[in-house]
Structure 1
Amino acid sequence: MNIHAITIEVPAAGEAPAAESFYADALAVGDRVHVRVATGPSSGFRGFAPSLILMQPGDVDATFARALAAGARVLKPVVKSLWGYGGSLVAPDGTTWQIASANKTATGPAVGEVEKLVLLLGVQDVKASTAFYREQGLAVNKSFGGKYAEFSSGDITLALYKRSGLAKQVGIAAEGTGSHRLEVGADADFTDPDGYAWATSAMADRGRRL
């Protein structure tokens, strides 16, 4: 099963054009991230954090700068770490994003090349959710006990963290209530044990603008 796109919900119709512009222009993921108006309330951490993995540290710096100029707010500034180079921010619509590169130092020019887009889902029980997704036909690429699991899922990579661990990683309080304000566009329709909705209908909405 493949993930083809994700749909992020915004609080009101008037905010949709700005959100679409942010994802198309600032993050350059408009082909895989769509926007629609929310149907339910939400507060605090929504439980998920897409991670944009770029090839070069300079790409991270440039993307961060565009995002901040477009109204994003820094959660963790860009720094070198054991795993690479990156930071996290909150988009104007309230979605938490991680922007990173596996390269700590430049191995080539910064040209804006995206290595992959990863959908990080915060879940209550990583082992149980991993078993659930395997039942849906997703193959596990990496697994670290009850802390992390990564799947082979096509255009967008699915990865699971404990909700508290994901919140800590991106630098936000783990508390949150209401809708996730996320729909995963894939080859099947279901809702997972943590309330994340998957729908084939999201595929039909690809390219549609509000």
Structure 2
Amino acid sequence: MTTINNLTLDTPEPTAAKAFHTALGVDAHITARDADAPTTGFPGFTLSLVVSQPNIVDAYIEAALDNGGATITPAKKSLWGYGGVVQGPDGALWKIATSSKKNTGPATRHFEDLVLLLGVGDVKAGKQFYLDHGLEVTRSFGRKYVEFATGPKVKLALYGRRALAKDAGISPDGTGAHRIVIRSDAGTFTDPDGFSWESD
């Protein structure tokens, strides 16, 4: 099984980004690199923290806002659960969500999954590319969504670019660098949508 060991985010403000990642408790899995890669609009990916109940969503969002984050979509209930979207000081979009609509315990800051969602032009083609590079599919919904087995640290999923932007609450328009490098044991390559992978 392929393991994603670390994500590196390019940002002209690495100190602020590191403080933000530490506040969310993801600094063991995400690093910030000083780089001014030009990007406008949607960078083409989101990061998600999946938690167990609504008060934990609120606790994470509060920590994000207290450490340089900005609200994109306020936390609210929906058909699928409860969640909101914030943007970190490095420009990355974070969705913090739970499928539960009720609290059953204290708001301990603990996440169950850290998920990297790549917004791609063609989910079927992206799926085949990653299969050809040795990744294993764990869930797939036709041309709409696919998840891969990438170890316990960071999970990987592909979603249509427009659908992912809509889910995050922003316009799908964007140009320039993605400003993310995926570090794993899968080797060094660039996928069809321009996402860079490097050997860890």
TM-score, normalised to structure 2, is 0.95
Q: 1:107, CA displacement in angstroms?
A: 2.7
**Identity score, percent:** 47
What SS class does the counterpart of residue 99 from structure 1 fall into? Answer: strand
Deviation string for 1:74-93 (max 9, x for gaps)?
11111112222101111112
Aligned counterparts, 1:1-210, within 5 A:
1-10=2-11, 12=12, 15-25=13-23, 27-38=24-35, 40-154=37-151, 155-187=153-185, 188-200=187-199, 203=200
Deviation string for 1:99-133 (max 9, x for gaps)?
11122211332211210100000000000000111
**Number of residue pairs the alignment of both structures matches:** 197
CA contact (8 A) 1:87 1:98 kept: yes
CA contact (8 A) 1:56 1:109 kept: no
Q: State how far apart, in whole Å, the 2-side matches of 1:39 and 1:186 are.
A: 23
Q: 1:178, CA displacement in angstroms?
A: 0.7
Deviation string for 1:30-53 (max 9, x for gaps)?
000100022531111100001111
> Counterpart of 2:197 in structure 1: which amino acid?
W
Q: State how far apart, in whole Å, the 1-side matches of 2:128 and 2:139 are.
A: 13
Gaps of 5+ in 2: none
> Counterpart of 2:198 in structure 1: which amino acid?
A
Q: State how far apart, in whole Å, the 1-side matches of 2:148 and 2:48 are.
A: 14
Gaps of 5+ in 1: 204-210
> Counterpart of 1:8 in structure 2: which amino acid?
L
Q: State how far apart, in whole Å, the 2-side matches of 1:134 and 1:39 are.
A: 32
> Counterpart of 2:98 in structure 1: which amino acid?
S
Q: State how far apart, in whole Å, the 1-side matches of 2:102 and 2:91 are.
A: 30
What SS class does the counterpart of residue 75 from structure 1 fall into? Answer: strand
> Counterpart of 1:36 in structure 2: which amino acid?
R
**Stretches of 4+ moved more than 3 A in 1?**
none
